[in-house]
Chains A and B, each alone.
Chain A
């Protein structure tokens, strides 16, 4: 397949996983802002497990579990203790990022890190995680918009009081969505050393976590648009890198700005459909008399 397409699709994968995880949590009302740290944790755990076990799949799975633990803490602290989501998320960002560096330092130390073998190509020069990313997006869309369970989850993120009155388990839904969402973020992080670098480094995430939050807003918190948005952003990024090599007569730094400026520009024109879950970032107090 065309090299540009392959590069774009590969660059898209981590964004899809992390942004869909953000969306899934957000649709239940939990606004996770620990992406950057969770991706770093996923990258460190994924790399270390893959290195010691020799299986990338094991690395991805364990990374997912590591992310799930932090997601569970976030969901519990915001749902049952009703602590500020943004504050807890950032605290967990620091904790998970610190844990990632610490784990790596403990196992590898200051030595030259051995490379893990890259994910095998499955079809047309693409690895299985690409297929998984697309399948995840389609499945999330179908689940959220075509099943009762999905509608219940969305209702928790829009109006938990109404959902509660209908007998939907608001607390449990938030716990599950927060945990699974964080697991997806860590898996997205684990993809980075397995495809791009082969090794873990503290700067490996390079702001992708923050961009994933931007992509969740960009996609209006809907899985299908998040997939498109991730592809768009990845394509712009690859184009910028290509232009950097071939040269366009303008400084390459300005070309590198384009993906970010383009995303911002699209947001400006898309602000009408850029919906946000009604209860995003807020905590449900069952005993409060204030509705919505």
Chain B
């Protein structure tokens, strides 16, 4: 503290500070504390269950790096996790909650599968971009419904996105078991898309290039959020909607746009899963990416810069969970508890940091007063 004011500094809300979270030591320290504390609690839990925590942690953390397959698996899981986290974080910056990531993802997958099947015969250079675009547009449109209801009728966006998720599950079931059903697959699975619509792969074992594209997208989104006018307006609306409005920002338009962009990103996640991983659409394609996306966004404290890194950590945990159960007998549910604890302890460490900062400010002020 270099300020010499005699009045205590106004209490800084952790959330306001967190939005400006930089990858500096000050920001990294709570993360380190939270992760270590969460692992410690889980280790106690594993011992209580009668297993060896060291062996379990080694299995969960090294699985992604032991061989090429693990690396590719982790990176391909990282793609939807990053995209769904972005789809959650962008409206969050404007103070809106998008819980519809999985619905937007399913619509994206539906759009991609539809174009990928109907458009067979087109050359790859035309078909592949069309397929991805269809997914992005379908996702954006799905989110636009919620955004419109929010803007026009003040229907709470949590409510509409959650309800539309359930509608999308039924839509997926209909498409996969009635429209383009694959009779040989058993269960709700569509026929494969045209080979020309599949994403090219690199390396061995093959990794789809969606990983590289999403890395660029995430970097671009982080820069835009910090440097562009749109990003500034987005943050302004989230921090103080009334002040933003008074300064001439069209707040409702920013909020609607944030939802639509989120939907487009969710749709992209669905399209990439179709063209990159499954090459078809199947029931359960959304996995638990929505919830993991939300928790990633929250651990990243809404920072678009931090999202890809946190998503990578969660991808490692998720890929390693199965191997941990096989290697040491510790149930996979432990990973869920670990993720919840990391988030909880991160919040707690914010409180402690805030208390320390406050007491230091008060001490400085007292010194000034006596001097």
Contacts and interface: CB of A to CB of B under 8 A. Distances in A.
A263 B162 CA distance: 11
Interface in B145-187: 149, 153-156, 158-160, 162-167, 170-171, 173-174, 178
Given A88-B347, A94-B295, A214-B163, A102 B170 contact: no
Nearest to A209: B162
A98 B295 CA distance: 14
Contacts of A77: 344, 347
Interface string A194-221: 0000000000000100110110011000
A55 interface: no
A95 B341 contact: yes
Interface residues of A, number: 44
Interface stretch (B24-32, B129-137, B328-336): B328-336
Contact of B331 (A83, A102, A264): A102
Contacts of B344: 77, 88, 91-92, 95
B347 A91 contact: yes
Interface string B325-356: 00000010111110111011001101100000
Contact of A95 (B14, B158, B340, B351): B340
Interface in A246-279: 251, 253-254, 256-257, 260-261, 263-264, 267-268, 271, 274, 276
Contacts of A261: 163, 167
Contacts of B156: 217, 267, 274, 276
A267 B171 CA distance: 22
Given A90-B343, A94-B336, A261-B167, A105 B162 contact: no
Nearest to B158: A213
Given A90-B298, A94-B337, A251-B178, A264 B149 contact: yes
B170 A254 contact: yes
A97 interface: yes
Contact of B351 (A83, A264, A271): A83
A87 B298 contact: yes
Contact of A254 (B99, B174, B334): B174
Contacts of A267: 149, 153, 155-156, 159-160
B340 A287 contact: no
A195 B55 CA distance: 41
A251 B348 CA distance: 50
A251 B163 contact: no
Nearest to A105: B331
A260 B164 contact: yes
A213 B174 contact: no
A209 to B, nearest CB: 10
A84 B18 CA distance: 12
A50 to B, nearest CB: 21
B11 interface: yes
Interface string B86-117: 00000000000101000000000000000000
Contacts of A105: 331, 333
Interface in A95-120: 95, 97-99, 101-102, 105-106
Interface string B246-279: 0000000000000000000000000000000000
A81 interface: yes
Contact of B99 (A210, A263, A271): A210
A257 B336 CA distance: 30
Given A83-B347, A211-B166, A251-B178, 7 more contacts: A84-B347, A98-B333, A102-B331, A102-B333, A102-B334, A253-B170, A267-B155
Interface of A: 77, 81, 83-84, 86-88, 90-95, 97-99, 101-102, 105-106, 207, 210-211, 213-214, 217-218, 251, 253-254, 256-257, 260-261, 263-264, 267-268, 271, 274, 276, 285, 287-288
7 A-B pairs with least C-beta separation: A94-B340, A98-B336, A253-B174, A98-B337, A95-B340, A101-B333, A91-B343
5 contacts: A77-B344, A81-B351, A98-B336, A253-B178, A261-B167
